[in-house]
Amino acid sequence: MIEDIKKTLWATADKLRANMDAAEYKHVVLGLIFVKYISDTFQTRRDELTKRFADPEDDYFIPDADADTLAEELEDRDYYREVNVFWVPEAARWESLRSQAKQADIGKRIDDALTLIESENPKLKGILDKRYARVQLPDGKLGELVDLVSTIGFGETGQSARDLLGQVYEYFLGQFASAEGKRGGQFYTPASIVKTLVEVLAPHHGQVYDPCCGSGGMFVQSERFIEAHGGKIGDVSIYGQESNPTTWRLAAMNLAIRGIDFNLGKEPADTFVRDQHPDLRADFVLANPPFNISDWWHGSLEGDPRWVYGTPPQGNANYAWLQHMLHHLKPTGRAGIVLANGSMSSSQNSEGDIRRAMVEADKVEVMVALPGQLFFNTQIPACLWFLAKQKSKRQGEVLFVDARKLGTNISRVQIEFTDEDIKKIGDTVHAWRGDGETDGEYVDVAGFCRSVTLAEIAEHGHVLTPGRYVGAEAVEDDDEAFVEKMQRLTETLGEQMAKGSELDALIRQKLGGLGYEF
């Protein structure tokens, strides 16, 4: 069912999109899906309350209530808030919008409905994107889109409706990432990379922070991890920041539909210049900052207290992100960050000095090299940095993992990690840490993982590329010494070349007999 819904929605949405840019159309489609969801869950709760008020066996039973009393009771917002259902005013309910879908001013009516919803739900204040009156679609197309979204039924409250909406959201975000091309990286991190970060960090509890949160994918995967391990999402507090206004709204909607409490700051803002959580010290940081951004610097950042290990170069923000995240960790906190491969070895403009200082201060815990083609929109090779504010175990060591041979093709131009790949990486790190997240014992595996001392890293100029340390993959059943093997292969090659020359001469002779000249 869900696959049919997703494919039908995307095919129709893509057709309706006409000449509108995917970056614009994304918010039009997802905004309508959001309104349909909160309207459906509101109506389902309302229907449930109507039955319970009339059931003598129910705690909500209202004896001898007339129609007016029941209608008044159904207007009590607390019945809805107690189960994380947004209050939807009558004029903003989906059936009201659907009945007006063919009106010429349907765009304005949707904007008015969003304004009403915001006024009744403080958590959504300033989040809903009211752009429908000015959207550039051919006549009647917005009404067609309303009819299309009407085919999605979020007909029951609770996890199943949330899961359905979440899957539709994620599918659309992935499709839009492909459609938008390069710019898609501003808001979408492939799920398998997020799952890997979450698997390694294991954020069971405490405060989770993403300083460049995009559409909120890190938080959603954290929620799933917690639930999969028997915990409750209420065990964590969500903090985020995002500079793009439309993406900031998208993240807020993505979290709101799941009933996750969150703090994304008062407004969208630049993380470096206008830190929305200056006093936050988080248990976990998960982030995929934009790679190699060159226009991040501002004069006010000179001498900033976050630059403990050196002032980052003005032409590249990679080491600004790393230090910003370390700054926001508790003493026991850990961070997982996706960065471009160049961050592991660059020595330009003080980056090598900052990296050396971070390594010598024992802040780098694990480095993971990723395969290419994991992202929708960039071929820049990427890696994962895992930082620890204060290591409790494995002090003076860094674990290097070369995961470049993992991953499975899902299309001609993209691969993703399987659940087995993610578990292999996670189990390796947990065994190395000895943190109780896995029962296995850690051992170095040639070509895949190796624990390395800071002294050896210093010998390599503090370069953190896993391939330098993990060695070559062992070849099974091959005890032959290298010199002997090379001699044998050279002799075999010589024999084959000689046979090739004989065959070449024979062919020429035969063809010459047929009158061909060479």
Q: Which range among 136-140, 158-162, 387-391, 501-505 shows the weakest confidence by mean pLDDT?
A: 158-162
Find the helix packing angle between 191-201 and 217-228, rounded to 10°. 50
Per-residue pLDDT at 155: 65
Q: Which range among 32-46, 250-264, 486-500 shows the weakest confidence by mean pLDDT?
A: 486-500
d(CA 154, CA 156): 6
Q: What's the pLDDT tens digit per position in 93-103?
A: 999 999 999 99
pLDDT band at 160 (very low <50, low <70, confident <90, very high): low
Say if residue 18's pLDDT is above 70.
no
Say if residue 108's pLDDT is above 90.
yes
Question: For the residues 340-361, what does the mean pLDDT come to?
Answer: 93
Question: Which structure tokens are listed for 117?
Answer: 């919803």
Residue type, 49: L
3-state secondary structure of 245: helix
Question: Which structure tokens are listed for 493?
Answer: 């090659």
3-state secondary structure of 352: helix
Mean pLDDT (the chain) is 84
Per-residue pLDDT at 64: 83
Residue type, 332: T
Per-residue pLDDT at 157: 44
Per the model's pLDDT, the better-predicted residue between 222 and 423 turns out to be 423
Question: For the residues 155-160, what does the mean pLDDT come to?
Answer: 54
Per-residue pLDDT at 477: 46
Say if residue 453's pLDDT is above 60.
yes
Q: Which range among 11-15, 311-315, 460-464 shows the weakest confidence by mean pLDDT?
A: 11-15
Question: For the residues 333-346, what does the mean pLDDT come to?
Answer: 94
d(CA 83, CA 49): 12
**Of the segments 19-28, 50-59, 246-255, 457-466, which one has the largest average pLDDT value?**
457-466
Q: Which range among 149-153, 228-232, 258-262, 338-342 shows the weakest confidence by mean pLDDT?
A: 228-232
Question: For the residues 364-381, what does the mean pLDDT come to?
Answer: 83
Say if residue 165's pLDDT is above 50.
yes
Say if residue 486's pLDDT is above 50.
yes
Per-residue pLDDT at 377: 58
Percent of the chain with pLDDT over 70: 84
Question: For the residues 163-170, what does the mean pLDDT come to?
Answer: 70
Per the model's pLDDT, the better-predicted residue between 260 and 89 turns out to be 89
CA distances in angstroms from 390 to 206, 209, 358, 442, listed in the order given: 17, 18, 12, 21
Say if residue 481's pLDDT is above 70.
no
Per the model's pLDDT, the better-predicted residue between 408 and 487 turns out to be 408
Q: State residue 255 phi and psi, 5-degree precision.
A: -80, -40
Among 286, 303, 168, 269, residue whose Cα is nearest residue 219? 286
Question: For the residues 8-29, what does the mean pLDDT come to?
Answer: 69
Among 326, 349, 353, 351, residue whose Cα is nearest residue 341? 351
Say if residue 182's pLDDT is above 60.
no
d(CA 249, CA 216): 10
Among 467, 437, 447, 445, residue whose Cα is nearest residue 198? 437
C-beta separation of 460 from 233 below 8 A: no
d(CA 139, CA 130): 19
C-beta separation of 100 from 89 below 8 A: no
Say if residue 327's pLDDT is above 90.
yes
- pTM for this prediction: 0.76
Residue 443 DSSP code: -
Per-residue pLDDT at 474: 55
Per-residue pLDDT at 419: 92
d(CA 33, CA 128): 12
Q: DSSP string covering 137-202, please?
A: --TTHHHHHHHHHTT----S-SHHHHHHHHHHHHHHHHHHHHHHGGGGGGT---HHHHHHHHHHH-
3-state secondary structure of 464: coil
Query: HSE (CB half, 13 Å, CA atoms) of 330?
Result: 9
Per-residue pLDDT at 17: 63
Q: What's the pLDDT tens digit per position in 404-447?
A: 999 898 877 778 899 999 999 999 999 999 988 888 899 999 99
In which element (H, E) is residue 332 found? strand 329-340
Sort 18 into a burial class: Cβ within 10 Å, 0-12 / 13-18 / 19+: exposed
Dihedral-angle region of residue 310 (phi above 0 means left; psi in -120 to 50 means alpha; beta otherwise): left
Percent of the chain with pLDDT over 90: 44
Say if residue 185's pLDDT is above 70.
no
In sequence order, what E strands does 212-363 have?
Answer: 236-240, 262-263, 282-287, 329-340
C-beta separation of 168 from 152 below 8 A: yes
**Of the segments 93-102, 128-137, 234-243, which one has the largest average pLDDT value?**
93-102
Q: State residue 237 phi and psi, 5-degree precision.
A: -110, 135
C-beta separation of 218 from 190 below 8 A: no
SS3 per residue for 79-101: HHHCCCCCCCCHHHCHHHHHHCC
